[in-house]
A and B are shown apart, each in its own frame.
Chain A
Amino acid sequence: MKPGVAVIGGGPAGIGAALSAARAGLAVTLFDEQPGAGGQVYRPLPAPFAADSGPDAEVGRRLRAELAASSVDARFARKVWFVGPAADGYEVRAVGPEGAETLTAPRLIAATGTTERIVPFPGWTTPGVMGLAATTIMLKAQHLLPGANVVVAGVGPLLAAVAVGILKQGGRVAAVVDLAGVGEWAAAMPAMAARGDLLARGIGWVAQIKRAGVPMLARHAVVAVDGGDRVTAVHVAPVDASGRPSGPSRTIAADSLAIGHGLIPATEIPRILGAAVEYDAARGGWITRADAYGATTVPGLYVAGDGAGIAGAAAALEGGRLAGLAAARDAGVLPADRFAAESAPLLAASRRAARFGGAMARMMAIRPGLVAAIAHDTVVCRCEDVTRGEIDEAIGAGARDVNQLKSWTRCGMGPCQARICGDVVGELIAPAVGGRLAAGISTARPPLRPLPYHALAGTFAYDELNLPAPAPS
Chain B
Amino acid sequence: MGTALVETLRGAVRFAGSRRGAPVTIRVDGVAIAAHDGETVATALLAAGLRAVRTSAIRREPRGPLCLMGTCQDCAVEIDGATDLACQRFVRDGMVIALVDGAGA
Chain A positions within 8 Å of B, measured between CB atoms, are 33, 35, 40, 45-50, 115-116, 118, 125-131, 133-134, 137-138, 142-148, 169-171, 228-230, 255-256, 379, 382-385, 414-416, 419-420, 449-450, 452-454, 471, 473
Contact = CB atoms under 8 A, between A and B. Distances in A.
A383 B90 CA distance: 24
A115 B82 CA distance: 26
25 contacts: A33-B70, A48-B22, A48-B36, A115-B67, A115-B69, A127-B52, A127-B64, A133-B67, A133-B69, A138-B46, A143-B15, A143-B20, A144-B47, A146-B46, A148-B9, A169-B15, A255-B10, A384-B57, A414-B57, A416-B72, A419-B71, A449-B70, A452-B82, A453-B82, A473-B57
Contacts of A383: 57, 73
Max chain B CB contacts within 10 Å: which of A230, A453, A473?
A230
Nearest to B74: A382
Interface in B68-85: 68-74, 76, 82-84
A471 B71 contact: no
A50 B15 CA distance: 12
Contact of B38 (A49, A256, A415): A49
Nearest to A266: B71
Nearest to B51: A127
Nearest to B53: A127
A146 B42 CA distance: 12
Interface in B44-62: 46-47, 51-53, 56-59, 61-62
Contacts of B11: 147
B65 A471 contact: no
B12 interface: yes
Q: List the 3 closest A-B pairs by CB distance, nearest first.
A: A48-B21, A127-B64, A48-B38
A144 B67 contact: no
A415 B53 CA distance: 16
A131 B67 CA distance: 6
Contacts of B76: 415
Nearest to A134: B68
Given A229-B62, A379-B59, A452 B84 contact: yes
Nearest to B46: A144
Contacts of A145: 12-15
B27 interface: no
A134 B69 contact: yes
Contact of B15 (A118, A144, A229): A144
Contact of B21 (A46, A118, A126, A171): A46
A418 to B, nearest CB: 11
B23 to A, nearest CB: 11
A127 B63 contact: yes
Contact of B57 (A118, A228, A420, A471): A471
Contacts of B63: 125, 127, 382
A67 to B, nearest CB: 20
Given A170-B16, A382-B66, 6 more contacts: A47-B38, A115-B67, A147-B12, A171-B13, A229-B104, A230-B51
B3 interface: no
Contacts of A130: 65-68
B86 to A, nearest CB: 12
Contacts of B52: 127, 229-230
B22 A138 contact: no
Contacts of A414: 57, 73
Given A40-B69, A144-B46, A138 B12 contact: yes
B42 to A, nearest CB: 9
A165 B71 CA distance: 23
A416 B73 contact: yes
B100 to A, nearest CB: 12
A323 B96 CA distance: 44
Given A127-B63, A144-B13, A471 B20 contact: no
Given A116-B67, A134-B67, A146 B12 contact: yes
A50 B17 CA distance: 11
Given A48-B20, A169-B16, A134 B65 contact: yes
Contacts of A127: 51-53, 62-64, 104
